């Protein structure tokens, strides 16, 4: 009877045995390749930061999910729940000397004390791509193009995924015209961000209590979300000059996305607000079209954050894409790479007296960069071949006394079982036949 497992990974935390690490590495490889293709450079920062970096900048939702504690020196610290505040801090005093635009990316592991559920864990890896020092929609579009290109490279096309796009300036103009006071705008964002999850009545209550809007004004806001397309907004509010200006920005953004060849992925959607407090312009989230999964990616423009963490003012736009949701989608669509154990060469010795030569040959091949395994104890020839298959060897080198007497070894290609004799000298020039005598 097997013993009950005493220690398990904490809830919401993952182990990565090789087959799972394979998928994670596949994502990281594509993320890095696409970021570099757009000229982004990789950076990193510490996983533990001062608590105040988040309590002041990220907004209540993330603050409620912090892994925070007092360290032994009495400092209030937190594991990073997102990368953007660290990026703003790292850049705050460096940005002046850097050529603009600054294009940086990172793949940090992040920690949020969330209710662990499908697509949401307490740790995840998040690809962050941020562009600083440009304020126009061309920069916004380029950043979203990076996200979409990575998903395309992973095998997801416009029929699989869509980017839902809105603009906080547009939403601000609409909320103001519904009577939301300036100092309540950020609170109103976080409330309407929950429209899809919390339901009308709760949203109306919260708008009344937290923003001071009566039911009628609240209904007016919610009606915006009933037909959240650009045409609906234009029809209802197009005469408001502030709304007009914001609409022009969104339209310009859409045009650049068309020119970048990604128009099919886009949908304007006013219900995309984003939970984080610091966004100031275009905001977007990418979803699977069937709506089975949570957001794959989220981001937007945040022009005031660098100044707010004490640095030089610098416009910025970026996104975060987690490894959890995209990993689930790839598995479901059979787009995840097959996991296979692999080694270039397995060396079989016919007779224990040839095992020292097997070790020398292994050394020589590894020095040439090949991956090589050979049994670590005496095994029958049949068992050695079984081990070679189990290890996923592409080739087996058979050291046998008869062939070695001719200075040769047998090379078997495992895919088709063909065999040929190859002079040992060719495989490992420094292992001359005289070495055999000492083997």
Residues in contact with ligand HAM by CB under 6 A are: 82-84, 112, 114, 120-121, 124, 126, 128, 130, 276, 295-299, 318-322, 324-325
Q: Output the smallest distance, CB 284 to ligand HAM, in A.
A: 10
Q: Output the smallest distance, CB 120 to ligand HAM, in A.
A: 4
Instruction: Name the one residue in this structure whose structure tokens are 């209710």.
Output: 115
Nearer to ligand HAM, 111 or 385 (CB): 111
Output the CA angle 368-371-375, nearest 5 degrees: 120
Q: Output the smallest distance, CB 102 to ligand HAM, in A.
A: 13
Nearer to ligand HAM, 82 or 170 (CB): 82
Nearer to ligand HAM, 288 or 357 (CB): 288
Q: Output the smallest distance, CB 386 to ligand HAM, in A.
A: 41
Q: Output the smallest distance, CB 16 to ligand HAM, in A.
A: 15
Structural contact between residues 188 and 180, judged by C-beta atoms closer than 8 angstroms: yes
Q: Output the smallest distance, CB 23 to ligand HAM, in A.
A: 14
**DSSP-derived secondary structure letter, 5:** P
In angstroms, the CA 394 to CA 396 distance is 7
The phi and psi torsions of 54 (rounded to 5 degrees) equal: -95, -40
In angstroms, the CA 347 to CA 375 distance is 8
Nearer to ligand HAM, 282 or 427 (CB): 282
In angstroms, the CA 105 to CA 40 distance is 6
Output the CA angle 62-66-196, nearest 5 degrees: 30
In angstroms, the CA 351 to CA 159 distance is 59
Nearer to ligand HAM, 55 or 364 (CB): 55
**DSSP-derived secondary structure letter, 352:** G
Nearer to ligand HAM, 246 or 324 (CB): 324
Q: Output the smallest distance, CB 383 to ligand HAM, in A.
A: 44
Q: How far is CA 386 from CA 146, 346, 383, 411, 417, in A?
A: 45, 11, 5, 16, 14
Given CA atoms 70, 74, 76, 79 in this order, what sign does their dihedral have? Answer: negative
Nearer to ligand HAM, 125 or 385 (CB): 125
Cβ-based neighbours of 436, under 8 Å, separated by 6 or more: 357, 404
User: Cis before residue 101, ω within 30 degrees of 0?
Assistant: yes
Total length of the chain = 439
Residue with nearest beta carbon to ligand HAM: 322
Q: Output the smallest distance, CB 124 to ligand HAM, in A.
A: 4
In angstroms, the CA 91 to CA 85 distance is 10
Nearer to ligand HAM, 218 or 311 (CB): 311
């Amino acid at each position: 009877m097997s013993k009950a497992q005493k220690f398990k990974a904490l809830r919401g935390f993952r182990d990565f045995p090789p087959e799972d690490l394979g998928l994670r590495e596949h994502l990281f490889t594509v993320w890095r390749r696409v970021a570099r293709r757009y000229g982004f450079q990789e950076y990193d920062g510490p996983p533990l930061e001062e608590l105040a970096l988040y309590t002041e900048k990220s907004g209540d939702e993330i603050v409620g999910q912090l892994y925070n504690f007092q360290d032994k020196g009495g400092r209030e610290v937190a594991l990073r729940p997102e990368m953007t505040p660290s990026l703003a801090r790292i850049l705050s005093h460096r940005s002046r000397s850097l050529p603009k635009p600054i294009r940086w990316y990172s793949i940090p592991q992040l920690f949020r004390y969330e209710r662990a559920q499908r697509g949401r864990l307490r740790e995840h890896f998040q690809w962050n791509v941020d562009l600083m020092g440009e304020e126009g929609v061309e920069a916004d579009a380029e950043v979203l193009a990076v996200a979409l290109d990575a998903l395309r490279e992973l095998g997801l096309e416009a029929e699989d995924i869509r980017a839902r796009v809105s603009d906080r300036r547009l939403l601000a103009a609409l909320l103001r015209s519904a009577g939301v006071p300036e100092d309540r705008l950020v609170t109103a964002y976080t409330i309407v961000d929950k429209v899809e999850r919390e339901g009308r009545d709760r949203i109306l209550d919260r708008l009344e209590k937290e923003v001071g809007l009566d039911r009628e004004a609240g209904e007016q806001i919610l009606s915006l979300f009933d037909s959240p397309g650009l045409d609906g907004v234009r029809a209802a509010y197009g005469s408001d000059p502030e709304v007009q200006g914001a609409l022009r920005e969104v339209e310009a953004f859409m045009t650049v996305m068309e020119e970048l060849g990604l128009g099919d992925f886009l949908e304007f959607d006013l219900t995309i607000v984003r939970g984080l407090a610091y966004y100031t312009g275009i905001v977007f989230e990418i979803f699977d079209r069937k709506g089975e999964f949570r957001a794959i990616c989220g981001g937007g423009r945040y022009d005031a954050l660098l100044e707010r963490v004490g640095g030089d003012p610098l416009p910025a736009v970026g996104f975060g894409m987690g490894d959890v949701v995209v990993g689930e989608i790839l598995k479901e669509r059979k787009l995840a790479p097959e996991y296979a154990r692999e080694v270039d060469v397995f060396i079989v010795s016919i007779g224990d007296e040839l095992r020292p030569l097997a070790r020398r040959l292994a050394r020589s091949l590894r020095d040439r960069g090949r991956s090589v395994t050979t049994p670590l104890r005496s095994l029958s020839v049949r068992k050695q071949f079984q081990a070679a298959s189990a290890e996923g060897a592409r080739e087996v080198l058979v050291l046998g006394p008869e062939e070695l007497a001719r200075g040769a070894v047998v090379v078997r290609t495992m895919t088709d079982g063909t065999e040929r004799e190859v002079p040992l000298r060719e495989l490992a020039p420094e292992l001359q036949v005289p070495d055999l005598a000492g083997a």
